Structure 1
Amino acid sequence: MRNVTLGSGLKHVTLALLGILTVIPFVMMFLLSFKDVNQFMQHRWTLTFPLHVDNYISAWRMIHKYILNSFIISGVTVVGVIVVSCMAAYPLARMRFFLKEHIYFLIISLLMIPTVLTLVPLFSIVIRLELINSWLGLWGPYIASGQVFCIFVLRAFFASLSEEMFEAARIDGAGEARVLLSIVVPLSKPIIGTLAVLNILSSWNEYVWPIMVITDIEKQPIPVGLLYFTQKYTDYGPLFAGYVIASLPLVLLFMVASKQFVEGLSSGSIKM
């Protein structure tokens, strides 16, 4: 019992230290966002007064349009990914048709291809479709690439649902679309919520693809907008304030969706 208690204590101490090391950069970013140039140079690692709240006003004026762009880009992306993935995963899980398993394995084999290898072919397609400097050039590849993993997860979850529910619904005259919308989707809310959060994080933090496709700075998402913001500002206070503002949407998202996210992870369909 003593060894178990000692081992448990060491685990808790280790986890606490790792948690503190994780939080420290965010705390320092928050403290630095309230400093002016002199405070930054002389008292960089401590809380100083007065607090320069106007740093946030300056930062917001510079990056609010990029945050709005990211909301639009990520919002359309996650809706498209979830809708297409559900429509593709349901027949692969609950219906019978010719070459069903071959199509499924062909889809999930795309998970083996590194994303970086698809940049040049995707860029060639975007150029041919004349989608350069258009959000369609972001939405199409984001939805196409994001649905592969979602189909893999959703198919496994849909296949685990009880067959009796589907038989009862079909006896009552429900079609496949009705079954999907009225039975499958409501039962899959935790896993769908988890996949939605993962796709929002992926599209929100994407940096390379927007630089390649979007040429107008006014249409860029927040990761690229912060790059221009960093190049323009030499005052560290507004700079770190911009970083804090850019982090808030994802923090708030996780606070709101944390219950759904954890339920989805513990449902057995995703193993992290």
Structure 2
Amino acid sequence: MHTTKSGLFIRHGIILFFGILTVLPFFILISLSFKDSSQFNLNRWSVTFPFHWENYSAAWQAIRDYIGNSFIISGVTVVGVLVISCLAAYPLARMQFFLKEKIYFLIIALLMIPFTLTLVPLFGLIIKFQMLNNWLGLWGPYIASGQVFCIFVLRSFFSSLPEEMFEAARVDGASETKILFTIVLPLSKAIIATLGVLNVLNTWNDYIWPLMVVNEDRMMPLTIGLMVFQQRFTTNWGPLFAGYVIASIPLVIMFLFASKQFVEGLTSGSIKM
């Protein structure tokens, strides 16, 4: 009994240790966001008073347009990825047609190609189609690259649903489209929410592709805008760290609202790697 309690105490201690390591950077970030230049230079790692709330006002004025651009980029991308992925994964999972398996394997083979290897040909296509400083230059590659993994996951999930359910719907006269929208998608809310969160994270935090495609300030997403903001506040770190805090808030709110579906999607056995 004593050994069991000791082991439990050690495990809890390890979990607590790693939990502190996870939370500590966020605490430091928030602490730094309330400092002025003198506080940052003299007491960088401790909490100092008074708090300088004006840092957040300055940061918001500087990055609010960039946040709006990131919402436009991520929102359209996620909707496009999920719609196309669902429409593609359903026939690959539940319907029979010529070369079905070969088409599926060709699609998932794209998972083995790193995104960095496609940057040069993609950029060449963007120039050829005159999509520089254009929303389509961001949406198109994001949707095209994001749907590959989603098709892989959704096809696996759709295939795991009971065949009897589909047979009963077909006997009642339901079309494949009606089966998809009235039966399959309602049962797939958790996995779709999980894929949505993952796609938002990928597009919201991406830096390389927007840097290549966008050079006009009016279209820059948050990742590029923060770099511009950093150049403006090179010696005044408080507003810069306040900008980082503001930039993380939408992702935190999204995860708070989608955390239940996200965890269900990860633990339901839907993602078969």
TM-score range with shorter-chain normalisation? over 0.9
Between 135-144 and 170-179, the greater mean CA deviation after superposition? 170-179
Q: Contact between 1:265 and 1:271, CA under 8 Å: does it hold in 2?
A: no
Kindly provide the amino acid, as one letter, of the partner of residue 236 in structure 1: W
- Quote the residue 2:160 is aligned against: 160
Kindly provide the amino acid, as one letter, of the partner of residue 268 in structure 1: G
Aligned length: 272
> 1-side partners of 2:29 and 2:86: how far apart?
39
- Quote the residue 2:206 is aligned against: 206
Structure 1 SS opposite 2:182: helix
What pairs with 1:197-236 in structure 2 (closer than 5 Å)? Answer: 197-233=197-233, 234-236=235-237
> 1-side partners of 2:149 and 2:6: how far apart?
41
- Quote the residue 2:269 is aligned against: 268
> 1-side partners of 2:251 and 2:101: how far apart?
37
- Quote the residue 1:256 is aligned against: 257
- Quote the residue 2:75 is aligned against: 75
> 1-side partners of 2:172 and 2:227: how far apart?
57
Residues 151-200 of structure 1 show CA distances to partners (whole Å, capped at 9, x for unaligned) of 00000100011111111111222111111010100000000000000000
- Quote the residue 2:63 is aligned against: 63
> 2-side partners of 1:241 and 1:2: how far apart?
48
- Quote the residue 2:93 is aligned against: 93
> 2-side partners of 1:76 and 1:166: how far apart?
31
> 1-side partners of 2:137 and 2:5: how far apart?
56
Unpaired runs of at least 5, structure 2: none
Give the RMSD, CA atoms, in angstroms: 1.2
Quote how far apart the aligned CAs of 1:2 are: 4.1
Kindly provide the amino acid, as one letter, of the partner of residue 153 in structure 1: V
What pairs with 1:72-151 in structure 2 (closer than 5 Å)? Answer: 72-151=72-151
> 1-side partners of 2:126 and 2:113: how far apart?
19
- Quote the residue 1:38 is aligned against: 38
Q: Percent identity?
A: 64
Quote how far apart the aligned CAs of 1:270 are: 2.1
> 2-side partners of 1:264 and 1:160: how far apart?
14
> 1-side partners of 2:31 and 2:121: how far apart?
44
Kindly provide the amino acid, as one letter, of the partner of residue 144 in structure 1: A
> 1-side partners of 2:80 and 2:119: how far apart?
20
Quote how far apart the aligned CAs of 1:89 are: 0.2
- Quote the residue 1:174 is aligned against: 174
Between 119-128 and 148-157, the greater mean CA deviation after superposition? 119-128
Q: Contact between 1:30 and 1:241, CA under 8 Å: does it hold in 2?
A: yes
> 1-side partners of 2:255 and 2:2: how far apart?
38
- Quote the residue 1:195 is aligned against: 195
Unpaired runs of at least 5, structure 1: none
> 2-side partners of 1:101 and 1:38: how far apart?
64
Q: 1:137 to 1:266 in 2, by over 3 A?
A: same
TM-score normalized by structure 1?
A: 0.97
Kindly provide the amino acid, as one letter, of the partner of residue 247 in structure 1: S
Quote how far apart the aligned CAs of 1:46 are: 1.6
Q: Contact between 1:55 and 1:241, CA under 8 Å: does it hold in 2?
A: yes
Structure 2 SS opposite 1:97: coil
Structure 2 SS opposite 1:198: helix
TM-score normalized by structure 2?
A: 0.97
Q: Contact between 1:194 and 1:260, CA under 8 Å: does it hold in 2?
A: yes
> 2-side partners of 1:8 and 1:95: how far apart?
50
